[in-house]
Amino acid sequence: MTKFKRILLKLSGESLMGRQGYGIDEERLREYAGQIGEITTQGVQTGIVIGGGNIFRGLSGAHKGFDRVKGDQMGMLATVINSLALSSALAAEGIKAKVLTAIRMEPVGEYYNRWRAVDLLEEGQVVIMAGGTGNPFFTTDTGASLRAIETGAEVMLKGTRVDGIYTADPEKDPTAVKFGEITYDEIFRRGLRVMDLTATTMCKENNLPLIVFDMDTPGNLKKIIAGEHIGTLVH
């Protein structure tokens, strides 16, 4: 039995680096594809949005002299590269996947629209939605929130390097305490940087629950789908 029928999985581009420090770690990519394959074979309709920070981040590029709009467009293209890599890894696992892009670039990917994405999900294909929102000044977290709401996902799963939300950055503060669950209002009140404010507000206003968890531990995704309490639930 699975707890969720349709999900939106948000993956960070940085996690794809593995131990390399840049680019795409093939072993990490295979691990992710394997975990995604486990839940899709159980009948879970899976939409995915991947960041591009392992290749290029528009905001950091702007700090180095890039035009912000062009920098963000470069970041969008980075997400397309990661999406193509994941679709290839899924194909190697025997899982059908389709890349939809927020910017027209056929035949690299099919141009995104909500109805096409839902049709593909209902057919049992993994739908990887690349290019963010297609607009500068928006993060891939906002893109993921938007796609989750558009496609009617029951939950947004944010796979990170840490196992949930803490009172402070656990990689910097050893006294940080993990939340088992937390409300969106408390995230705002505490000023916690779970996602950017736009993404967090969209989830809150559309009653979309969020689970933040450690995607780098094999088996965690399957446990969440089975209803185990992994990571931090935001509601």
Per-residue pLDDT of the chain (235 residues; tens, 9 = 90+): 789 999 999 999 999 998 888 899 999 999 999 999 999 999 999 999 999 999 987 666 666 777 889 989 999 999 999 999 999 999 999 999 999 999 999 999 999 999 999 999 999 999 999 999 999 999 999 999 999 999 999 999 999 988 999 999 888 898 999 999 999 999 999 999 899 999 999 999 999 999 999 999 999 999 999 999 999 999 9
Q: So what's the pLDDT on residue 111?
A: 98
What DSSP element (H or E) covers 7? strand 6-11
Query: What does the alpha-carbon distance between residue 119 and residue 59 come to, in Å, rounded to a whole number?
Result: 34
Tokens coding 15: 């996690």
Q: So what's the pLDDT on residue 56?
A: 87
* Sign of the CA dihedral with 213 first, then 215, 216, and 217 last: positive
Q: So what's the pLDDT on residue 66?
A: 75
Q: So what's the pLDDT on residue 10?
A: 98
Q: How many CA atoms lie within 13 A of 55 on its CB side?
A: 20
Residues 38/222, Cβ–Cβ less than 8 Å: yes
Q: So what's the pLDDT on residue 59?
A: 65
Residue 196, burial from CB neighbour count under 10 angstroms (0-12, 13-18, 19+): middle
| Closest among 173, 235, 226, 166 to 194, alpha carbons compared | 166
Q: So what's the pLDDT on residue 19?
A: 84
Structural domains in the chain, CATH included, are 6-234 (3.40.1160.10)
